[in-house]
Amino acid sequence: MDKQWYVVNTYSGHENKVKEKLDMRINSMDMQQHIFRVVVPEQKEIEIKDGVKKEKTKKMFPGYVLIEMDMSDEAWYIVRNTPGVTGFIGSSGKGAKPTPLMPYEVDKVLNSMGLSRLEIGNELNVGDKVKIIEGPFKSMMGKVESLDLKNQKLTVLIDLFGQETPVDVELVQIEKA
């Protein structure tokens, strides 16, 4: 099975509790090979109240949590039966498996949080083949030459006019080939 992102519905206001419980269950039931990441979509907002600036974290989608997992029967059962989870989005019910999010949908949410769908070092390494999916070199294939973990950028060698040319791209602009 390959891992994909799914949306889970929770009781509103219980998103972080569900994330904690899922993380605990993943570890206690040894499911790290099936359930990879649990993300509560949030963004920081600056609020000015009585002339004082305050940074506030606001839920992007109250009542929803994103989960990166492979949809095995066991992983599906564990997520579905976690306290606070009311179900998967994109499932018709009656035991039907849900539909995963499209990569561009996940990228949009994770990018706004400063995260990426691909994890440098775990999924992406020097020498890996990648496809550039946005920007001026869109749809070109290349090989990863170097990685910048801190800035979530990488240098990709692409074939430009018959020569290997290094191009700097952001992590969100590529997908693994």
Give a three-class secondary structure readout of 32-88: CCCEEEEECCEEEEEEEECCEEEEEEEECCCCEEEEEECCCHHHHHHHHCCCCEEEE
58 with 143, same domain: the answer is no
Q: Would you state the pLDDT for residue 120?
A: 57
Please indicate, yes or no, if residue 137 is contained in any of the structural domains.
yes
19 with 96, same domain: the answer is yes
32 with 87, same domain: the answer is yes
Give 101's Cβ-side CA count (13 Å radius): 20
25 with 80, same domain: the answer is yes
- Closest by CA to 31, choosing from 63, 68, 66, 64, is 68
Count structural domains, the chain. Answer: 2
Tokens read off for 66: 């994103």
96 with 55, same domain: the answer is yes
Please indicate, yes or no, if residue 52 is contained in any of the structural domains.
yes
14 with 99, same domain: the answer is yes
Please indicate, yes or no, if residue 122 is contained in any of the structural domains.
no
Whole-angstrom Cα distance, residue 136 to residue 155? 14
27 with 104, same domain: the answer is yes
Task: Tally the residues of the chain.
Answer: 177
| Spatial contact of 12 and 59, defined as CB atoms under 8 Å apart | no
Please indicate, yes or no, if residue 9 is contained in any of the structural domains.
yes
CATH number, domain of 163, equals 2.30.30.30
| Spatial contact of 113 and 172, defined as CB atoms under 8 Å apart | no
Domain coverage including residue 166 = 129-176
Q: Would you state the pLDDT for residue 97?
A: 84
pLDDT tens digits for range 65-111: 999 999 888 999 999 999 999 989 887 767 778 889 888 788 788 87
8 with 40, same domain: the answer is yes
99 with 55, same domain: the answer is yes
Q: For the chain, which residues score pLDDT lower than 50? A: none
Please indicate, yes or no, if residue 142 is contained in any of the structural domains.
yes
Q: Would you state the pLDDT for residue 51?
A: 85
Please indicate, yes or no, if residue 75 is contained in any of the structural domains.
yes
72 with 139, same domain: the answer is no
Please indicate, yes or no, if residue 140 is contained in any of the structural domains.
yes
